[in-house]
Amino acid sequence: MDSTISDIRKYIVTAALVISNIIIFLLVDFSGGSEDTVHMLKCGAAYTPYILENGEWYRLVTSMFLHFGINHLLNNMVVLAVLGERLEALMNRVCYVAVYFIAGIGGNLLSMYLERQSGHYAVSAGASGAVFGMMGAMLLILLRNRGRVLDLSLKRMLIMVGFSVYLGIVDSGVDNAAHIGGLVCGFLASAILYRPGRKYGQT
């Protein structure tokens, strides 16, 4: 029990993000259904016309905490937990949170821009952009640490990113723009914010 509490305190930001996503999912699912598009819109899912025409920019953030069904939630939370605890051990917590939100919002912005260009709009939600941003952040950290940090290697991380991008391409229901946008934004944000040797709790 003490060990579990210690682990939660050590990775408090990652735990808070995972728990928040789970709680919000349960509230949405029980109040109207997490796979009901209309209900998801009411709860804050991203929809380009609402954002641009109605000025509902908050959806760029709220959509990051919504998921279409339990499988969507679990897929994102597993990666968030695995990569999140490693990033939290390597980055200042404030920088870690900044990278997470910059990547998530950046992914949503790219998705919105491309939808605007094509004229085809879809209701979207999920932490995928932010999660891909964490992959981008880890790639940057690995590059700055000669290809290996903790139990991760650059080769292993590239395989993970490549496989994740491939799965998105073959699945027509996936917002690949948000994934790629999140990946790039996470990499760039980490290039600015990451300082080798400064772990969580350090100034």
**Residues 137 and 80: beta-carbon distance below 8 Å:** no
Indicate the pTM of the whole model: 0.87
pLDDT at 85 over 80: yes
pLDDT at 10 over 80: no
pLDDT digits (tens, 9 = 90+) for 118-139: 989 999 999 999 999 999 999 9
pLDDT digits (tens, 9 = 90+) for 53-69: 999 999 999 999 999 99
pLDDT of residue 130: 95
- Catalytic residue IDs: 128, 179
CA 203, CA 195: separation in Å to the nearest integer? 11
Name the amino acid, one letter, at 24: I
For the chain, give every domain's residue range: 2-193
pLDDT of residue 201: 37
Q: Does domain 2-193 have CATH number 1.20.1540.10?
A: yes
Other residues' Cβ atoms within 10 Å of the Cβ of residue 119: 7
